[in-house]
Structures are given as C-alpha cells and as structure tokens.
Structure 1
Amino acid sequence: MQPTEDLYQTVQAAAPELTPKLRGICQLIETDPVGFIRSTARELCNQLGTSEPTLIRFCQRFGYAGLADFRIDLALSLAQKPALTPFGVESNPVDRRAVNFSAKDTIGRKAVHLLEGDTSVLFDNGSSAERLAAHLGNLAPLVIMTRSLDVAQTVLSHKQHQVMLTGGNIRRETMSVTGRLVDTALSEMRFDTFVMGADSVDPETGISTFLEDEAHQNRAMIEASGRVIVLADKTKFSKPRLHRICAMDRISAIVTDLEPNHEIANRIRERGVRVISTQEDGVND
C-alpha cells in the first residue's frame, strides 16, 4: 500500500482486515491519537503488549518505512480533523529529526554559504532549521534570533554567534515559543535573512502549513526580514496545507534535494525563485 493523504481514515478502514495485534494498534490510534504520536516506541510497545518489529510491520502495511514517518503523516491527517483533536496535534519532534535526516543535513550544509556576508539572521523552529544551525561554525559572527530553544542551543555551541530568543509562551511539544510576544519582539527589528522550513511547498500556492499559529508567526518573521530562504527536502513538495504562509514571490531561494531539472524545480524557477539543489556543485542555479 502507498501512503495516502488521509492516513487516519485509511487506517480505520483497514482495521477489520488486520490481525488482532495490528488491529490493537488501530484501536489505540482511534482512542488516543495524540498519545500514539507523542509516546516513545517503547512506551507504545508496553501499552499495547507488542514488540517494536510489530509496530514497524504495522507502519509498513500502510506504505511507510517505520514509525517516525508514519506518525508525521498521521499528525498531518489529524490536523484536518479538529473534532478528533480539538487542542491540535503536532508531529513528534524526535520523529521529525529522524525522518530524512541525511537529506536535511545535506540541505543545511548547502545553505550555509547563502548566509555569508549577512550580519543578522532569523531562524524558524523545526528540524531543517536545526540542521542548518549545526553548520554555522565556520561563519563570521552573526546576530541570530529564533523562537526555537533547540536552534538556540545548537547555535550557542559554536561560541562565536550572539543568540536571542523572541520570547513568548513555550510550546513543550516543539520546544519553541509562540504568542503575541513573538510579534512584539519582531516589530522593531530588521534581519538580513529569515531561514524557514515548510510543511508544504507548491509552485502556484506558495508555502503553507497545517497550523494557524505557525502560519501567523512565520508571516511576522517574513515581514521582519529582507529575504527568505526555504529549506525543503523532496517530501515537502506536496498538496498545499490549510494555512498559507506566503506566496512564491516573497521567497528568495529554496534549497532542496530535488534533482536540479526536476519539473517542480523548473516551475518554481518560472516564478522567479532561485532553486539550489544539493545534487549540483556550488550554490549557483
């Protein structure tokens, strides 16, 4: 089976055909979807009375390599069903870091050269931004502001950069801050560059996300920046999500692992956006 747009519905529809062990996993997803996404694999195995290979086999039944990418798509599916998760649900940050780690790290290494000559950079939260932050050690000192506690810690490890947090309410699930204080902090500042990840990149629609407050915070960060660089592995070029962040004309460059002449990359270039592929030498398009 191939991954589907509405994973939650697909799982529930398949439940009657599954073995008792796999059906038990379906039932947990139905009764406690947030717990299924937030728990560790060991916690899930203890709760279900099953093994980790069984969990992986369940995910593979629906076209996924393992638990991490299955749960990311499950979170996206649940975001379209607010009645099931009235307080919202975000994918597990541990899962996000694990999925496509090598691609994200290569993208981050490729993108770091775009920051040469900058003096101030604004960083989004998320696993892609974290990987770029990990490669800032050879750059001249920068002033870096972020709303991600993980990005801040990573940048501090390089020792030469000044790090600021926007302030706001800490969202424990993502180790990032949100709320009106983010807007207040950004309203009086101007950065050379904003580095962001994306839930979805579409040549026509632009950049979008499934969370309303994430879209709002990202718009504020875009307005506070001279240019915008998007980090997006090839899985992010997908159907637009509910909340649009910005149109393509606001993006300066997209760094990706798409092939240089991929049809989507060419359509984005037609919109006037620079596309930099990790599969080509240098940073020129």
Structure 2
Amino acid sequence: MVSIAERHQQIIDKLQKEGKINVADLCAELNVSSVTIRKDLKLLEDKGLLFRTHGGATLNNPYTIDRSVNEKEKIQSSEKMQIGAKAATLLQPNDSILIASGTTVLALAKNIQPSGSLTVITSALNVALELLRHPEIEVLQLGGLLRKSSSSVTGPYAESILADFSFSKLFLGVDGIDLEFGLTTTNVMEAHLNRQMIKVSQKTVVLADSTKFGKRGFGRICGFDDIDQIITDKGISDYVVKALEGMGIKVTIV
C-alpha cells in the first residue's frame, strides 16, 4: 500500500508536470477516495506546496490582483509587443474594430499601421491617445466611469453607446484565463462591459500573455464559447493549447 508521503510526492510530481490537477483524476490514479485527496491537498497547501482550487489544485496562485496600468505594462513587455504585432496583422482595409482595455491591447494599438481607413472604438484612454497619431484612423472614445488603475471607462453609459454599432472584431485583454471558470478581469463592471462588447462583435480575439493562464480575476467575462481566437506567447503549456483547440478556439503563439 502506498504511504501518505509517497502519495503526496506523486501528487506534487503530477502537479509540477501538468501545472494543474483535479481531484477526480487523482482518485482514479491513486485509488483513494475524494475525501482522502482533499485532505492531501489541504495538507500540501498548508505547507505552501500548492494552491487549492475548485475541484483540484494548481502550482501558482490562481487569483489575480488589480494592479495599475503602469505596473502591468512592465510585466512581459516584450511578449505583449509581439502579441500586439501579430494581432495587428488581422486588420483589414476599412475595418471597424473594438478595442477593450489592458496593456496587451495597448501593444496592439502601438503596432497598428493602417492601410486605408480604419474605425476604432475603445474604452481605453491610452489606446485612444496612441491612435491619434494616425490621421487615417477614426477614433471614438467610449464615455463612462473612469477606472484610474486601467485608464479605461466602465458603466452603463459606455454600454449604451455600444448598442448603436456592429464591429468586425473585438480585441480583448483579460486578467485571467482558467479552463474551468473562463475568462476574467479584476473588476466586475469592466467584465460586464466586456460582455456587451462581445455581443456587438462578429469575432472576438483575446490577447493574453502566457502568465494569464491558470489565473482567475474577480469578475467573470465569459466562457470559451464566446471566443474565436487567442494570441499568446510560447510560455503557454501544450496541455492548455490542446484543451483550447479542442473547444474550437484558434490558438496563435508568437
């Protein structure tokens, strides 16, 4: 019979290999009850070896915190610029697009070199200011309650403006992507605005560096049925890529 110490080591080994584990799989592999596995996970969490999640555990803290846009811009900056450059190649002449908030979509704005006219509506002040240098781009800034930490607006006024438009693409930034919980942000009002953005867009493209995977923010934006494409960097695990592609999502890695 496998000892408790051996079982704990097997759990840690599997977690280090996969980055994330669930109770049902561990029960089947180790031939023990879910009660036993949950006790194991609690003991290992108390030792600082993992973080428990709904139905399993993860190697890294799955909960994101709200950081200022200036702080977030310094995290994975080169990866974000590569993601933004790739996203910019999706634009078509005479496109009408919607850009949400976040430092990764700001990287998209910095990489846009329009060929022909382009109409952009955005909730992010920094995105709008970045695009002002292009005379070919018509920029409409959404109004509403200004979130200082993200330099973007939220609220019912911004949502009501969106009802009058239809967009070919939405470029969406997120704070967390969890295979069970979906796409999230740290602010519930921003999550609600993002849902309205998805409704008025023909295609939703998520721009997210690899550190966002396995994370959860406070406000849930949507599930994976609402997403068409995710552009990320090579830090994403093969397991997550296969899971996303299995849901019909195009995953582009830069």
Q: Tell me, yes or no, whether TM beats 0.5.
A: yes
Offset at residue 114 of structure 1 (A) = 1.5
Residues 1-285 of structure 1 mapped to structure 2, 5 A cutoff: 76-77=64-65, 90-117=66-93, 119-258=95-234, 262-278=238-254
CA contact (8 A) 2:171 2:205 kept: yes
In 2, Cα distance between equivalents of 1:229 and 1:212: 20
CA RMSD, Structure 1 to Structure 2 (Å): 1.9
CA drift at 1:175: 1.8
Deviations 1:7-45 (A, max 9, x none): xxxxxxxxxxxxxxxxxxxxxxxxxxxxxxxxxxxxxxx
Given that 1:195 and 1:228 are in contact with CA atoms closer than 8 Å, whether structure 2 keeps it comes out as yes
Deviations 1:207-245 (A, max 9, x none): 112221111111111111111000010100023333221
Q: CA deviation at 1:122?
A: 0.4
CA distance in 2, matches of 1:191, 1:108: 19
3-state SS of paired residue (2:129): helix
- Asked if structure 1 preserves the Cα contact closer than 8 Å seen for 2:173 and 2:208, the reply is yes
- What secondary structure sits across from 1:167 in the alignment? coil
Deviations 1:43-78 (A, max 9, x none): xxxxxxxxxxxxxxxxxxxxxxxxxxxxxx9x935x
SS at match of 2:153: strand
Mapped partners of 1:220, 1:203: distance in 2: 22
Q: C-alpha offsets along residues 125-184 of structure 1, whole Å, 9 cap, x if unaligned?
A: 110010001111244321100011100011111221000011112223322112111111
Q: Which has the higher helix share?
A: 1
Q: Which runs of 5+ in 1 are unaligned?
A: 1-72, 78-89, 279-285
Is contact 2:207–2:230 with CA below 8 Å preserved after alignment?
Answer: yes
**AA at the equivalent of 1:256:** T
The aligned amino acid for 2:218 is L
| Alignment match, 1:57 | none
User: Aligned pair in 2 of structure 1 residues 169, 113: CA closer, same or farther (>3 Å)?
Assistant: same
Question: In 1, are the aligned partners of 2:94 and 2:119 still within 8 Å (CA)?
Answer: no
Q: Distance in 2 between matches of 1:112 and 1:151?
A: 14
- How far apart in 1 are the matches of 2:233 and 2:94? 24
Q: Higher relative contact order at CA 8 Å, sep ≥6: structure 1 or structure 2?
A: 2
Residues 64, 215 of structure 2: 8 Å contact kept? no
Following the alignment from structure 2 to structure 1, what is the Cα–Cα distance between the partners of residues 237 and 144?
A: 41
Would you tell me which structure has more strand in proportion to its own residues?
2
Provide the TM-score with structure 1 as the length reference. Answer: 0.64
Q: How many residues align?
A: 193
3-state DSSP of counterpart to 2:170: strand
Alpha-carbon distance in structure 1 between the residues aligned to 2:124 and 2:133: 15
The question of whether the paired residues in 1 share the 8 Å contact of 2:94 and 2:117 is answered with: no
Alpha-carbon shift at residue 261 of structure 1 (Å): 7.2
**Contact 2:126–2:151 (Cα < 8 Å) also in 1:** yes
Could you tell me the percent identity over the aligned residues?
A: 32
Give the conservation status (yes or no) of the 8 Å contact 2:98–2:170. Answer: yes
The one-letter amino acid paired with 2:89 is H
Structure 2: runs of 5 or more not aligned:
1-60
